[in-house]
Amino acid sequence: MDVIPADVAAAIKEGKVNLDDPAVTLTLLQLNAVVGVKGTFDAKKNLVSIGLTCASCHSTVDNAFLPGIGHRLDGWANRDLNVGAIVSMASNLKPLTDALGVDAATVKKVLASWGPGKFDAELNLDGKAFRPDGKSAATLIPEAFGHAGENLHTWTGGWGDVTYWNAYVANLELQGQGNFFDERFNDAKKYPVAAKAHFGNKRSNPDKVTAKLAALQFYQLAIPAPKAPDSIYNKEAAQRGMLVFNGKAKCASCHVPPLFTEPGWNTHKPSDIGIDDFQANRSPDSTYVTQGLAGLWTHMKGGFYHDGRFTTLMDVVNHYNDFKKLNLTESEKKDLIEYLKSL
């Protein structure tokens, strides 16, 4: 909303602009007003190329102008973005059907299973589209804020830090022109799709990715977790909840304040946290990452844990209360939740 001219903004508010009109989309792209989408235009204002940036998945807007239009919220997971639906509209799905060894109907079934706010960043490595229970293998799009001081930060363990994932996504997901190396992808048993495509050693000339990694890492680590609005939690209950968090509930033994993750190698076996090992086994060391909790309140839309399996924070607290045999009272649970919402 900060780059839209005043007359255009007024027309949008009055309902005089059809935002579904491709001509309007082109105008917005020329204004650099579409979060995560970049268009290149020639001297006659013809669109000659288009591409996506990190912001398409890891930024959104605050709806301050109208629903879907507002100030940028960099680093926020885009819980409205339906990546699968967008990809399935591609005129040519052959790159996916060839890589996965299935027909277009199967690819579309997989993409339709993701839903808003989810993405499967490992499908192009192991080809595992569904969990053993039949549910989609896609996980929640992660936030890109609040990771300063953390080691691993993307759901499952042993992959790499911020720069690893930036290079991975730029080269192997968005198909940018760059260099990427990870010999683990040569393991045809664990990562058959990646081994077949030689993803473990991608070389491009010219390399248009590597030179951008340092600045991108610096910027991303500089994005603080957004402070929770006072209106979403009870301050007095949160103070009591902090004592539960650091004491009886033993949350701080893994989510160490003030980073709220573990210094060092911040991963745990599935058996340590009482959940299945499907996503963990897709990672190099078969573990789950101890997530940082700063900005946890932004997960109210989409759910909690890597796949959103827990709809509410009470579901999360009840899981650990039962699994760890914490014997929390109902009032202690409620206070703990207020504290978690305040982070």
| Same domain, residue pair 117 and 155 | yes
The answer to whether residue 246 is domain-embedded is: yes
**Cβ(170)–Cβ(163) under 8 Å?**
no
271/277 Cα distance (integer angstroms): 8
The answer to whether residue 93 is domain-embedded is: yes
| Same domain, residue pair 265 and 314 | yes
341: confidence class by pLDDT, cuts 50, 70, 90: very high
Neighbouring C-beta atoms of residue 269, cutoff 10 Å: 13
| Same domain, residue pair 96 and 183 | yes
| Same domain, residue pair 217 and 242 | no
Contacts of residue 105, defined as CB under 8 A and 6 or more positions apart, other chains included, come to none
Phi, psi for 222 (deg, rounded to 5): -85, -5
161: confidence class by pLDDT, cuts 50, 70, 90: very high
The answer to whether residue 284 is domain-embedded is: yes
| Same domain, residue pair 193 and 290 | no
| Same domain, residue pair 204 and 238 | no
Q: Which amino acid is at 124?
A: N
Biggest CA–CA distance in the chain, Å, is 69
Expressed as residue numbers, the domain containing 205 is: 83-221
196: confidence class by pLDDT, cuts 50, 70, 90: very high
161/310 Cα distance (integer angstroms): 25
HSE-CB of 238 using CA atoms within 13 angstroms: 13
| Range list of β-strands (E), 65-202 | 72-74, 118-119, 139-140, 180-181, 201-202
Distance of CA 303 to the CA centre of its chain: 12
CA separation (Å) from 197 to 30, 208, 283? Answer: 36, 20, 18
How many independent structural domains does the chain possess? 3
| Same domain, residue pair 157 and 235 | no
Residue at a domain's end among 24, 48, 74: 74
Look at residue 189 in the predicted model and tell me its pLDDT.
Answer: 97
| Same domain, residue pair 207 and 246 | no
Q: Residue 188, class by beta-carbon neighbours within 10 Å (0-12 exposed, 13-18 middle, 19+ buried)?
A: exposed
Look at residue 301 in the predicted model and tell me its pLDDT.
Answer: 86
Strand partners, 66: 69
Task: Map tokens 């709809």 to a residue.
Answer: 311
State mean pLDDT over 49-76.
94
Task: Tell me the angle at which helices 235-246 and 330-342 cross, rounded to the nearest 10 degrees.
Answer: 100
Per-residue pLDDT of 294-320, as tens digits, reads: 999 999 888 999 999 999 999 999 999
Per-residue pLDDT of 141-160, as tens digits, reads: 999 999 999 999 899 999 99
Per-residue pLDDT of 242-276, as tens digits, reads: 999 999 999 999 999 999 999 999 999 999 999 99
27: confidence class by pLDDT, cuts 50, 70, 90: very high
| Same domain, residue pair 105 and 42 | no
Contacts of residue 175, defined as CB under 8 A and 6 or more positions apart, other chains included, come to none
Q: What is the CATH number of the domain that holds 263?
A: 1.10.760.10
Task: Map tokens 């890492």 to a residue.
Answer: 217
CA separation (Å) from 162 to 93, 148, 174, 217, 221? Answer: 30, 9, 16, 6, 8
Task: Map tokens 């499952």 to a residue.
Answer: 156
| Same domain, residue pair 237 and 217 | no
Look at residue 212 in the predicted model and tell me its pLDDT.
Answer: 96
Look at residue 300 in the predicted model and tell me its pLDDT.
Answer: 87
The answer to whether residue 1 is domain-embedded is: no
| Same domain, residue pair 179 and 202 | yes
Mean pLDDT, the chain, integer: 95
The answer to whether residue 124 is domain-embedded is: yes
User: What pTM did the predictor assign?
Assistant: 0.92
| Same domain, residue pair 301 and 278 | yes
Look at residue 257 in the predicted model and tell me its pLDDT.
Answer: 96
Indicate whether 172 pLDDT > 90: yes
Residue at a domain's end among 197, 221, 245: 221
Look at residue 302 in the predicted model and tell me its pLDDT.
Answer: 87
Residue at a domain's end among 221, 244, 259: 221
Look at residue 15 in the predicted model and tell me its pLDDT.
Answer: 92
